[in-house]
Amino acid sequence: MNNRKKILSVTILLVAVLQISFAQQNSIAINAQDAKYIINKNIYGHFAEHLGSCIYNGFYVGDTSMTIPNTNGVRNDIIAALKKLKVGTLRWPGGCFADTYHWKDGIGPKNKRPAIVNKWWGNVTEDNSFGTHDFLNMCEQIEAEPYLAGNIGSGTVQELIDWVQYVSSDNKNPMSDLRKTNGREKPWNVKLWGVGNEAWGCGGNMVPEYYVNEYRKYATFMTDWTNSDKIFRIASGSNSADYHWTETVMKNIPSNMVEGVALHHYSVIDWGAKGPSTSFNEQQYFTIMQRALFMDSLVIKHCAIMDKYDPQKKVALVVDEWGGWYDVEPGTNPGFLYQQNTMRDAMIAGVTLNIFHNHADRVRMANLAQAVNVLQSVILTNKEKMILTPTYHVMEMFNVHQNATMLPVTIKTNDYVFENKKLPAISVSASKDKDGVTHISLVNIDASKMQDITINVNGAKYSSVTGRVLTSKKLQDYNSFDNPLNIMPAVFNTAKLSANNLQVKLPPFSVVVLTLN
């Protein structure tokens, strides 16, 4: 080989080595010394609306069902699965349905309850057999905190005052007496209340300047001078990036009258062309991930507005509707929003929970839409069969972070490149629980590339690392009624710990949770 050729081959080798090292530059630092905030368990909330087969033929099969084991009509398998998930809060009865719901229709003897038409969701007739008692008793079984969405769209102030008294008052008064007559002696003591839902849309098409006055009126009568019952009132919040809504709410509602402000954001490609839930292509995947990651920017900007009016962070940002929204499954009722759930949904869940953790100072509650058979569900049912979706598994793997101290992270990540667009490939969050155990959750959204990551734990001392991973062969894979265990968490034992460093190889489109002792 002559000198020229030698130089050329050395140069080619150098370029290759450089390319490899550039492709491996993911690095994460865990900054435990800056830890300050707790990851509120209520970030792990769910949503149960009277929509499609979420309540009827989902949670609730009726106490006369002979084929599906149930407790007072609620499926036992769903109760057990949600208990294992450690659900924070459960929001009910809507959504859009909430502002048409008159709670007194759903109490008392079931055969005397009026039937109603669910005008938002498929115009189906409901017999009101699932009402306030059914929901609150179910929450007790699941061990979830109930979150009731009050009707301020078509309801009245008196109706909401009565509902609060009915479920929470132990004093002698007409509503407490009525509850006792209906078989429940002790109140459930419900703390979390939504004051309307999407007031800018199905909740009344209000402008924020009008809504704040409505809010103030309802919020006044729900409690007393000092809110001595410690009711947690949540103002209807912005539709994604409507920052003017948050500004108007924060500016015009006195801070002693509001405990939470909501935010709704769905990952949707285009409301007119949402794309299929399973047979999507990489372009559709990339766009959905772009929408999901936009949550970070939304949270940052809404929080900045909240910080202006509430620097002490007393008011929580409550993301009480989030998740992926696609076309309904072919052949199903378009008003029922029934969709399958793939590894793409696992990616949405992983990155979104990481975002919430990293903003634990202000994001203290959230509700995935929705729990059963609607949108990005954790559970799907078909007659007596029930399956757990990839989203369920991510939420179960991540629940080790609940009520733990968030450890701030800094990250340098490779890009996930599709055509000429790019997104950060890696997402991360970390926490330390009350027993001193550290958990790190990692997501690689890249559709085809494995990611090598170096994690510096900055002076912390650990002696062991274990892990769990959720991934599959194809992004489009899902759990079906015929193959319910297709996607399941597995042991992840390739993370290497040495001194202050962890080396991790994340497979493409995977979610990993590491435990460090």
Residues recognised as catalytic: 198, 321
Smallest separation (angstroms) from ligand AHR to the CB of 223: 24
d(CA 181, CA 282): 57
According to DSSP, the β-strands at 385-388 and 379-382 are antiparallel
Which CB sits closer to ligand AHR, 37 or 130?
A: 130
The answer to whether the CB of 427 falls within 8 A of the CB of 443 is: yes
* Residue 470 near residue 514 (C-beta atoms within 8 A): no
**Which one-letter amino acid corresponds to residue 498?**
S
Closest CA to 326 of 265, 386, 266, 372: 266
Give the nearer residue to ligand AHR in terms of CB position, either 94 or 187: 94
CA distance 310 to 446: 38
Minimum Å distance from CB 502 to ligand AHR?
38
Sign of the Cα pseudo-torsion (297, 302, 303, 307, in order): positive
Residue 196 in the binding site for ligand AHR (CB under 6 A): no
Q: Is 53 in the site for ligand AHR (CB under 6 A)?
A: no
Smallest distance, ligand AHR to C-beta of residue 94, A: 5
User: Is the distance from CB of 324 to CB of 280 less than 8 angstroms?
Assistant: no
* Residue 95 in the binding site for ligand AHR (CB under 6 A): yes
Among 54, 82, 96, 371, binds ligand AHR (CB under 6 A): 96
Name the closest residue to ligand AHR (Cβ).
95
| Of 52, 93, 94, 196, the one binding ligand AHR by CB under 6 A | 94
Residues 270-329 that bind ligand AHR (CB under 6 A): 321
Q: Please list every residue from 328 through 387 that binds ligand AHR, using CB under 6 A.
A: 369-370, 375
Count, in order, helices (H) and strands (E) of the chain.
10, 27
* Residue whose token pair is 């132990």: 170
Please say which residue, 96 or 222, places its beta carbon nearer to ligand AHR.
96
Closer residue to ligand AHR in complex, CB, 374/506: 374
Closer residue to ligand AHR, CB minimum distance, 94 or 204: 94
Residue count at the site for ligand AHR (CB under 6 A)?
A: 10
49 forms part of the interface with ligand AHR (CB under 6 A): yes
Among 40, 165, 168, 197, binds ligand AHR (CB under 6 A): 197
In the block, residue with structure tokens 């940002």: 317
Q: What span, in angstroms and rounded, lies between the C-alpha atoms of 398 and 401?
A: 6
Cα–Cα distance, 503 to 508 (Å, whole number) = 16
Residue numbers at the binding site for ligand AHR (CB under 6 A): 49, 94-96, 197-198, 321, 369-370, 375
